[in-house]
Amino acid sequence: MATDTFPEIKQLQIDRLRHMPVWRKVALMCQMGQTVRLLAQAGLRQRYAHETPERQRRRLADLLLGHELAAQVYGPLEEVE
């Protein structure tokens, strides 16, 4: 929770989350995951605009899985000069 939220509002948020059906909590988590992925992809497109979409997806795998696991799954990310 944000540190700048009034305690009464924070408690209201917690209470709403506690009483929310499980399916809704799962849906919210999926939406948050999609948002994080879209933000990461946008950042990679901005930082590596010169690279192909395939290389940008490979970089995304590094972010999501970590360098070691991404390299095991997709092979090493070879640097372009």
Is residue 80 in a domain? no
Chain centroid to Cα 79, Å, comes to 24
Q: How far apart are the first and last CA of the chain?
A: 43
Residue-wise pLDDT tens digits, 4-54: 889 999 999 999 999 999 999 999 999 999 999 999 999 999 999 999 999
Tokens standing for residue 42: 């946008």
Q: 24-59 burial, b if ≥16 CB within 10 A, otherwise e?
A: eeeeeeeeeeeeeeeeebeebeeeeeeeeeeeeebb
Is residue 23 in a domain? yes
Q: Place 2 in a pLDDT band, splitting at 50, 70 and 90.
A: low
Is residue 44 in a domain? yes
Is residue 11 in a domain? yes
Is residue 81 in a domain? no
Is residue 20 in a domain? yes
**Structural domains counted in the chain:** 1
Q: What is the domain range of residue 11?
A: 7-74
Is residue 1 in a domain? no
